[in-house]
Structures are given as C-alpha cells and as structure tokens.
Amino acid sequence: MPPLLDNPAAAQSYLWAIILLPLGGALVNGLFGRRLGRGNVGLIGLAMAGGAFLLSCIAFAWVAGGTNLHFVGDWWFRVVDPSGRAPISVPWGLLVDRLSGTLLLIVTGVGFLIHLYSVGYMSHEDDAGYARFFTYLNLFIAAMLTLVMGDNLVLTFVGWEGVGLASYLLIGFWYTKEENAAAGRKAFVTNRIGDFGFLLGLFAIFSIFGTSDFGQLSARALSLQPDWVLTSGVFAGWTMRGALTFATLGLFVGAAGKSAQIPLYVWLPDAMAGPTPVSALIHAATMVTAGVYLVARTNFLFVLAPTSMAVVTIVGACTALLAAVIAFAQYDLKRVLAYSTVSQLGIMFIGVGSGAYAAGVYHLMTHAFFKACLFLGAGSVMHAMHDDLDIRNMGGLWKKMPSTAKTFLVGTLAITGIVPLSGFFSKDAILAGALFSHNAAWPAVGKIAYVIGTVAAAGTSFYMMRAFALAFVGAPRTRTAEHAHESDWTMTLPLWVLAFLSVVALVLGLPAWLVGHHYAELFQQFTNPVFGRAYKVLGIEEHSAIWPYAVAWVVALVPGWLSWQMYAGSMRGFPDRFVAAFPGFFRLVADKFRIDELYEFILLRPVRKVSQGLFLAVDRFTIEGIFVNGVPKAVYAVGDVLRGWQNGNLQRYATVIAVGAAFILWAVLAAGGY
C-alpha cells in the first residue's frame, strides 16, 4: 500500500499537491502554451485536472472513513503587536472534512469532465487562444480548490478572489467583442461589492475572535453565550449576537455577490458571454456555489445570529422567485439556464439559511451535476446551431442530436424535481427543512420561504419544460436546425456521465419513510460531523411528514405538463395569446424587470456624475494640476535652488557637510541647555 492510502499524515502532506497540480498546469500552459502545440496543451490541462481529481478521491476516502485531513501550515503572515503577541496570524493550512471533501470531489470531478469537453468544444480556437483557455481553466480549478480547502477565512478569501479573477478572464475570453469585455467587467465590479462585504465580515471576525481558523472559530463559537458583551476591539459594548450578526451579514454580502443573489445577481446572466464550458463549470456548477459553501462552512457563526439566518433565507427565497419569473420570458437558451441557476442558488440559500445545511449542500451537489449537464448540452446545441442560441430558431433537435437531447431531458427532469431524479429529493429536503425550521428572530420566515420556494419550483418546472420542448421537440424551424448534427465523443461523454450522476445522486437523499432509517438521508448522515452541533443549537429535529413530498411532486408535474401542452402539445398558441393579452407585463418580464436599468438610474448614473465631478476636482485639478504638473515644477524649482549644491563641486559638498554638522551641534547643545 502506498503511504498515501495507509497513513493520514502522509495523505495530509499531499493536500497542497491537489492545488499545485492545476496551478502548475496553468503556469506551464500560460508561459509555454503557445509553443507546446494544442495537443500537449490539452493533455497538460486534462492531466492536471485528472491528477487533482485522483488525489481528491484519496482525500475523500480518508474523510469518508471518518478521518479529517488537516494540513497544519507554516505562517503565511502575522501581525505582531508591540508586546510581541501575534493578534493576527494566518497559516498556509488546508482542511478536508466531510463538507470540503464533498466540494473537492465536485470541483475536481466536474472540472475534469469539463476539461475533457473543452478539448472538443474549443477546437475552433487558434493555438494561442487554446492555450489561454486551458491556462485560465486550470487557474480556476486551483483557486477554487484553495477556496474550498483553506482552513481559515483568509485563505478562503484568497481562493475567492482567485476564482473571481479566473471568472473575469473567462467571461471576457473573447475580449475583442466589446459586449463580452463589458460582461467581464460587470461581473468583476459586482463581485467587488460583495468582496467588500466579505472583507468587513472577515475583519469583524478577527476583531471578535482574533483568529480566522475554522477549527478554532467553531470551538470558540460553540462555547460562548450570545448575550455576552464584548469588552475590547471594534465591537466593544456590543453583545456577541450583535457583533456576530454584523460579521455574518458581511459574509453573506460576499456570498450574495459570488452566488448571484438579490441585489447582486445581475452579473450572472451577462456572464453567459463566456465560452459554454466556462458557463457550465464556473457559472453553474462550482464558483457560484461558493457563497452557499461559505455560509455552510461558517454555520457555527450563523446559528448564533438568527437575524442573519432570516436574511439569508428570505433573500434566497426572493431571488429564487424573481429569477424563475424572469426565466419565463427568455428565448436565449443559455440565459434561461442562467436565470435558472440564480433561482436554484436562491433555493440553496433557503436551505443553508434555515438550518437545513446538509440539504443545501446536497442540492449544491445535485445541481452541479444536472446544471453542468444542461449547460454542456446547450453548448453542444450551440455548436450544432452555429452559435445561434435562440430557442425559437430550433425545434426537432431530438432526432438530429440524440445524445444531447436525451441527456438534456434527464437534466430537465432532474432540475424540475420529477421523481425519481435527484433534484426532487434535494429540493424537497430544502423546502421541507425550511417549513419545519424555527428562527428565533423571525419565526415565520421558514414558512414564508417554503411558500415562495414552492412557487419558484413550480415556475422552474414550467420554464425548463418550455425550453426543452421548444428546442428539441416538433419540427425544425430553421435551416440550421434542420442541418444540425451531433457533437464529438469528447463532448457527449461528459454529458452522459453528468446525466448518469444526476440520476444516481438520488441515493444520497432518500427519505426515511421510503427506505427505512438505515439508508435514509445518507448525505445528511454523512455530513453530521460538520453540521451536527449547529442542528443542536438550532433545535432541529427530524421530521417524518410525507405530505410535503406529495406537494412537491404535484408542483413539479403539473406545471411541467402544462408547459409541455402549451409548447409541444394541444394547447399550442396559448402562450402567444397570453402575450398578446398582457403585452406590457410580458415586456417587463422579458426585460428582466428592468433591474439593470433601475441600477443604471439609481446607482450608476449618480456614481458617474459624482465620479465626473471628482475626476475634474481630484484628477484634473489636484492630481494632474498640482501633483503631476505642479509637483515636478515645484521639484524642478527646488532642484534649481538645490542644484547649486548638487553640482559636483567638491568644496560646495564639504561646505554642506560642515554646515550640517554645525547645525546638529548647535541643536543638541542649545536644546540640551548646555
């Protein structure tokens, strides 16, 4: 047996390799990619992602066996105060427990499949672009793994920024098109707003606890009383609950930015400008779920701040509904999927906000499978349709692209939550968890979220079936659709794998009344070591109600059936009549409630005005006028005076020295009173 499998200490010491492999791949491809040739570039990218996946499997095996892997790192940096204590010290430590281990497998596993898919998908790029793409993709994997595995918030933040960078680079991958570059900027700036919240939360946590290490934080958080009053630090005079509410709300602002929640969700739909594998990996399966992960990771802090949990829940619910409604009126296949991602992330936040942590992360996992499958399917369609993504121009692709169509159907059914696919169990677990949760700050929030979430789920079922029916069923509506053809095996293989995973992931979330206690809620049982104490704090008990499942089933089936009838069956024509009857409302929805325009009006325009003013006052006048032009002038003027001294003349230099010495003598003696 290699020591890696034999000895947890050895396995721990290999944790960094999981990050360094893709990072190395990014370095090699970034520096030499152009000269290596595309075959080697793809091979390096794939091999690094695959290697990371294998090592992750080993790490996961340890975690599944009950041993957490914790690499205790050396100090990265520390801030030492005058007394020699280090109030802030940040190590290079990595932690793989059952939560991060799960994420690890998702990131490297789905990541590997998408690398494979990209080999085919990006084949139209020139060599430089191809190398650039795999560089960014590997960089993303490395950053995401840092985010997931970091054993402290600072390292998580490093990864957080890293994935933001990779996402920015990849959204604007075809940066020569202005709108793509603009989409990249929009994502970056919106995320910066969120990051500001993250930093506030991070600093607040440092101030409260003096550490950002997850292990220490959880130990201290669970031993403290929420009513304690802090005596020192920034929050002196606050109660623990108040300070933690501030800190966790800060973290949630960060999470809302990264995971596209109200009000920061606007960047994600535009992010679809990036290559489709990127949309699948970063903007559906992994990066956008980082916010959910962050809330789940810091569960021990959130459970002490019920107000924050209520905010998380209600923001998640509202986002889920809003995005689902907008998705009704979109015709761009990737945009439909993007809004559905926003909506599903909202559902996940309902879960982690109402204390159903395992359910939230379970949905994160199933969503990663089926949403990646759907996006890659959309990419495959995009290839076949020569980059046309308007579902009105498709139709009849079922016969032309059997693999894509079948896997897309699996994904659709899974996200809709039709029994027996995985989405049903994960989504239902969240909604049921919200329904039976108790929030001390706002007791009704769980029930409200349940109702809103159920409506959003009904909407999901409708628009997903609409998209599927319009794209794949019926007769081809354009010549391109008629001549569409199936994609290469490197693209269809990941589709089938992901579709398969979307189905089998259900075994992790079967309810007790169906399979008995031993096999029930396997994922819940699996993550109990991470979340168990939080459940105890929240007083969450197991429920065994069956009726929520029945409701969920109806909610999934009826709108889906209606949608099918309207877009592929006997009720065809109804949508057009509906649009004709309420044109104003439809336009409003199709324009995404004009939220972008609203932001433009209330935020961007004033900001632009102010910055224009500041530009004139600060940049033109102060910086350019005084510093850039004024300072050199002043310096040159001073220089002219001083040049008399700095003229290479030896006697002059000696005089300066003598005068200086005399001045010092005088200063010391006179001021000293001698």
Partner 1 sequence: MPSGQDIAALLPFLLLVLGALVLMLSEVFLRSGGRGYQSGLTIAFAAAAALAVPFAPQQVLFGGQAVSDGFAGFVTMVVCAGLALSALLGRGWLETRNMERGEYYALALFGASGMVLLGMATDLLLAFIAIEVMSLAVYSLAAYPRRGQRPPEAAFKYFILGSFASAILLYGSALYYGATGSTLLSAMRGGGGALLAAGLSLILVGLAFKVAAVPFHAWTPDVYEGAPTPATAFMAAGVKAAAFAFLTRGVLAMVAGTPFAVGNELGGVLGLLAVLTMVVGNLFALPQRNVKRMLAYSSIAQAGYLLVGVIAASRPESRAQGTSAVLVYLAAYAVTVIGAFSVLAVMEKREPTPDAGSADAWDVSRFAGLASRRPWLAFAMAIFMLSLAGVPPTAGFVAKLSVFQAAAGAKAWGLVVVGVLTSIMGVYYYLRVVVAMYMQPAEMEEPAAAPPTVAIAIAVAALLVVVVGFSPEPLTAWARAALLRM
Q: Does 635 bind partner 1 (CB under 8 A)?
A: yes
H helix or E strand, kind and range, residue 76? strand 75-79
SS3 category, 84:
coil
Exposure b/e, 372-395, CB count within 10 A at least 16 = b = bbbbbbbbbbbbbbeebbebebbb
**HSE-CB for 654 with a 13 A CA cutoff:** 3
Nearest distance from residue 89's CB to partner 1, in Å? Answer: 10
Tokens of 316: 């998640």
* Nearest CB to partner 1, comparing residues 228 and 653: 653
Which range in 303-311, 472-480, 596-604, 645-653 contacts partner 1 by CB under 8 A? 645-653
Q: Does 228 bind partner 1 (CB under 8 A)?
A: no
Nearest distance from residue 132's CB to partner 1, in Å? Answer: 17
Q: Does 632 bind partner 1 (CB under 8 A)?
A: yes
Which range in 49-57, 170-178, 205-213, 628-636 contacts partner 1 by CB under 8 A? 628-636
Nearest-angstrom CA–CA distance, 29 and 288: 25
Nearest-angstrom CA–CA distance, 156 and 151: 8
Nearest-angstrom CA–CA distance, 67 and 63: 5
Q: Does 544 bind partner 1 (CB under 8 A)?
A: no
Q: Does 664 bind partner 1 (CB under 8 A)?
A: yes
- Using the structure block, give the residue that is written with the tokens 């992010």: 271
Length of the chain: 674
Q: Are strands 94-96 and 88-91 parallel, antiparallel or unpaired?
A: unpaired
Q: Does 639 bind partner 1 (CB under 8 A)?
A: yes
Q: Does 657 bind partner 1 (CB under 8 A)?
A: yes
Nearest distance from residue 670's CB to partner 1, in Å? Answer: 9
List the interface residues with partner 1, window 518-537 (CB under 8 A).
Answer: none
Nearest distance from residue 157's CB to partner 1, in Å? Answer: 15
- Using the structure block, give the residue that is written with the tokens 């595309």: 38
CB atoms within 10 A of CB 506: 18
* Nearest CB to partner 1, comparing residues 606 and 660: 660
Which range in 60-68, 178-186, 409-417, 654-662 contacts partner 1 by CB under 8 A? 654-662
Nearest distance from residue 636's CB to partner 1, in Å? Answer: 7
Which range in 134-142, 223-231, 389-397, 653-661 contacts partner 1 by CB under 8 A? 653-661
Closest CA to 204 of 223, 222, 217: 217
Which range in 303-311, 347-355, 590-598, 663-671 contacts partner 1 by CB under 8 A? 663-671
Size of the site for partner 1 (CB under 8 A): 38
Helix %, strand %, coil % of the chain (to 5): 75, 5, 20
Nearest distance from residue 201's CB to partner 1, in Å? Answer: 22
SS3 category, 304:
coil
Nearest distance from residue 616's CB to partner 1, in Å? Answer: 22
Q: Does 671 bind partner 1 (CB under 8 A)?
A: yes
Select the residue interacting with partner 1 from 544, 611, 629, 646 (CB under 8 A): 646
Handedness of CA 429, 104, 147, 167 (dihedral sign): negative
How many Å is the Cα radius of gyration of the chain?
28
Nearest distance from residue 669's CB to partner 1, in Å? Answer: 6
Nearest-angstrom CA–CA distance, 603 and 240: 34
Q: Does 626 bind partner 1 (CB under 8 A)?
A: no
Which range in 137-145, 189-197, 504-512, 648-656 contacts partner 1 by CB under 8 A? 648-656
Q: Does 636 bind partner 1 (CB under 8 A)?
A: yes
List the interface residues with partner 1, window 47-76 (CB under 8 A).
Answer: 74-76
* Nearest CB to partner 1, comparing residues 28 and 376: 28
143 phi and psi angles, rounded to 5 deg = -65, -40
Q: Does 86 bind partner 1 (CB under 8 A)?
A: no
Nearest distance from residue 642's CB to partner 1, in Å? Answer: 8
List the interface residues with partner 1, window 474-503 (CB under 8 A).
Answer: none
SS3 category, 88:
strand
Q: Does 644 bind partner 1 (CB under 8 A)?
A: no
Q: Does 629 bind partner 1 (CB under 8 A)?
A: no
Q: Does 625 bind partner 1 (CB under 8 A)?
A: no
For 21, 30, 66, 96, the CA distances from 186, given in Å and listed in that order, are 30, 25, 43, 33
Nearest-angstrom CA–CA distance, 338 and 344: 10
Which range in 44-52, 124-132, 545-553, 652-660 contacts partner 1 by CB under 8 A? 652-660
- Using the structure block, give the residue that is written with the tokens 């929420």: 226
Tokens of 15: 């944790």
Q: Are strands 75-79 and 94-96 parallel, antiparallel or unpaired?
A: unpaired
Q: Are strands 88-91 and 75-79 parallel, antiparallel or unpaired?
A: antiparallel
- Three-state SS string across 197-218, please? HHHHHHHHHHHHHCCCEHHHHH
* Region for residue 573 given its phi and psi (left: phi exceeds 0; alpha: psi -120 to 50; beta: otherwise): left
Q: Does 581 bind partner 1 (CB under 8 A)?
A: no
Q: Does 640 bind partner 1 (CB under 8 A)?
A: no
* Region for residue 395 given its phi and psi (left: phi exceeds 0; alpha: psi -120 to 50; beta: otherwise): left
Q: Does 637 bind partner 1 (CB under 8 A)?
A: no
Closest CA to 102 of 247, 296, 342: 296
Nearest distance from residue 631's CB to partner 1, in Å? Answer: 8
Nearest-angstrom CA–CA distance, 314 and 444: 11
Nearest distance from residue 145's CB to partner 1, in Å? Answer: 19
Select the residue interacting with partner 1 from 72, 545, 546, 656 (CB under 8 A): 656
Select the residue interacting with partner 1 from 77, 513, 574, 578 (CB under 8 A): 77
List the interface residues with partner 1, window 93-132 (CB under 8 A).
Answer: none
Select the residue interacting with partner 1 from 35, 78, 483, 620 (CB under 8 A): 78
Nearest distance from residue 645's CB to partner 1, in Å? Answer: 6
- Using the structure block, give the residue that is written with the tokens 């949608």: 563
Interface residue list for partner 1 (CB under 8 A): 74-82, 84, 631-632, 635-636, 638-639, 642, 645-646, 648, 650, 652-654, 656-657, 659-661, 664-665, 667-669, 671-674
